[in-house]
Amino acid sequence: MAMIAKQCPDIDVHVVDLNQARIDQWNSDDLPVYEPGLDEIVREARGRNLKFSTQVDAAISDANIIFIAVNTPTKSFGIGAGRAANLEFIEKCARQIAKCSKGHKLIVEKSTLPVRTAEAVKRILSSSANGATFDVLSNPEFLAEGTAVQDLLYPDRVLIGGESLEAVERLAQVYGRWIPRERILTTNLWSSELSKLAANAFLAQRVSSINAISALCEATGADVDEVAKAIGTDSRIGPKFLKASVGYGGSCFQKDILNLVYLCEHFGLREVAQYWEQVVVMNDYQKRRFSERIVRTMFNTVSDKKIAIWGFAFKKDTNDTRESAAIHVCRDLLEERARLVIYDPRVPESQIRSELEMSFADSVGGLSDKHRKLIETNVNVVGDAYSAASEAHAIAVLTEWDEFKTVDSLRIFDDMRQPAFIFDGRNILDREKLVKIGFEVHSIGRPSK
């Protein structure tokens, strides 16, 4: 929305949310989301044609076009628990729009939704008390966190699905202000909804594929980066999304694939469901394999050993930790009674602690006293990479922040216990240099050195 406000100064953009604290943050100098370049855009448009408030009803009644961008988390209860998307928030939104609207409005689904949600949204809207009429469009978002501003400025494509050509055209004209027309694809509603889930499934599948190969590389002596390059130079495959890692994270891949799996099951397509589910199974395996490798390498015990965790976000240039591989690795290491000293340049301590608490909590009983105590005593969060590594038996790199590539490795080595282990879960460090200094380096998909 900030990008639309920036590119179209004549369009008034009003962002509303029920959460007052969240809105206050959007109105402050300290935005709730860290995203390179976003501060400048918000600062430029806020107060001009970009407004943040909690006046939901008034904003609905004033608007010509309404984007629904509420979250659709995986259901944690009832039918489809653990797979289906929870559409509670979408439905509440649609009901509120129906209640507060008059005249004709364009409703745009921005949230990632299971196929045919627009149908439900349309039916709820048609019950509007005031005789309002609506066109429903699907306009899924393809930006990736950390590169959001660039992705929005120069998208590969914008996708708009809808039934009424006129409605599709109206939204296309908004994006057309800065995006070449040939990049604005229009489809029917269902194709648009499914394309979003399918795009994420294909991307996650590539990461899981190269991660599966990384396990084989470790067993055979091949180097996964070399293999990725050899594969990726085939232009039919291409080099992107072939970076082996400790496992993909983020709020989208896992949720969307499970959602796709649920859809396939719903339509009786068992084999198709199993095929896509395997992408998630492989990702869980990759995270577990990493923590098991740490324990095995460190003489089969990390109990009471200090392990520095470099990076907690699900990737660099974001403060988002949802489904971050770091959560799973830290949890496994805590189960082994390791002492963790965690540093992430953008993630606050409270967020790290609450993610770890949630990872130990079960859905019915909550967090046990034993686990609460374990996190309290065995987790320390510090403000820089050096303090994290000081006196540590090992360093585990879990997010590919650029600053980890330029640390003074000699200083780190001198401050660590020997043998000094490094587990590079992102293959970003200069292995040859570290080995020369004396580190024992273990990377993803390469023989250990």
Question: Per the residue annotation, which of 100, 252, 264, 330 is the catalytic one?
Answer: 252
**Cα torsion angle, 8, 11, 14, 15, sign:** negative
Name the site residues for ligand UGA (rule: CB under 6 A).
Answer: 112, 141-145, 200, 203, 207, 241-243, 245, 248-250, 252-253, 314-315
CB 142 within 8 A of CB 155: yes
Burial of 313 (0-12, 13-18, 19+ CB in 10 A): buried
**Least spacing, CB of residue 344 vs ligand UGA, in Å:** 14
| 80 Cα distance to chain centroid | 22
Tell me the HSE value of 301 on the side-chain side, using a 13 A CA sphere. Answer: 3
**Least spacing, CB of residue 404 vs ligand UGA, in Å:** 14
Q: What are phi and psi of 372, to 5 degrees?
A: -60, -45
DSSP character string of 210-242: HHHHHHHHHHHT--HHHHHHHHHTSTTT-STT-
**Least spacing, CB of residue 301 vs ligand UGA, in Å:** 29
- The smaller minimum CB distance to ligand UGA, of residues 193 and 336, is found at 193
Q: Is 100 one of the catalytic residues?
A: no
- The smaller minimum CB distance to ligand UGA, of residues 250 and 345, is found at 250
**Least spacing, CB of residue 243 vs ligand UGA, in Å:** 3
- The smaller minimum CB distance to ligand UGA, of residues 196 and 393, is found at 196
What is the token pair recorded at 417? 């216990």
**Least spacing, CB of residue 36 vs ligand UGA, in Å:** 13
> Which residues are within 8 A (CB) of 198 and not within 5 positions of it... i.e. 6 or more apart?
260
- The smaller minimum CB distance to ligand UGA, of residues 124 and 252, is found at 252
> Which residues are within 8 A (CB) of 402 and not within 5 positions of it... i.e. 6 or more apart?
316
- Which active-site residues does the annotation give? 252
